[in-house]
Amino acid sequence: MTAREPIIKQPPAQGRPVDRIVAGLAAIWLFCAVAATLWFFLGFYETDPGFSAASSAALLSLGLGAFAIIPGAVILRLAWTAWRYGFRPVHGLWTLVLALPWIGLSLMARPSEWMPIWLTIFPLLLATPISLWAIVSIILERRARVKP
């Protein structure tokens, strides 16, 4: 008995292995953002477990957490798309728009005494290589277009 032909034939991935690594880093970013959001919510909920306080804490935590969750999810999708179908400069530009502010925020929040160190180091350690990937990929893409 022979195997059937697949209904949907997908071409092999056209990206580079580094695109997949960046997708993994973005997945870690997304997981850490969701974990930090839940950590803040549980901190608020611990002090006042009533429904009204819990609902406002959930809105506050999810609203602020969205500033990290959404960029992590979008960068994950961009990096995965770059690996699957090949990198385009628009992938890098959107990645830079979403990741570079986190480098600045991490550097500004580091000297504060009330912010836990893991909330300042992890975004810096994740956003820096992701931003470098975007910059280097844009440069390589531009050089590949302009062949002498």
pLDDT, tens digit (0-9, with 9 covering 90-100), for 41-53: 888 777 777 777 7
CA–CA distance, 36 with 63 (Å, rounded to integer): 12
- The answer to whether residues 19 and 87 touch, using CB atoms and an 8 Å cutoff, is yes
Which is nearest to 74 in space by CA: 36, 35, 120, 130? 130
- Taking only the tens place, the pLDDT of each residue in 55-97 is 888 888 888 889 999 999 999 999 999 999 889 999 999 999 9
Question: Considering the entire predicted model, what is its pTM?
Answer: 0.83
CA–CA distance, 105 with 23 (Å, rounded to integer): 22
Long-range contacts of 139-142 (CB under 8 A, 24+ apart): 141/87, 141/88, 141/89, 141/92, 142/89
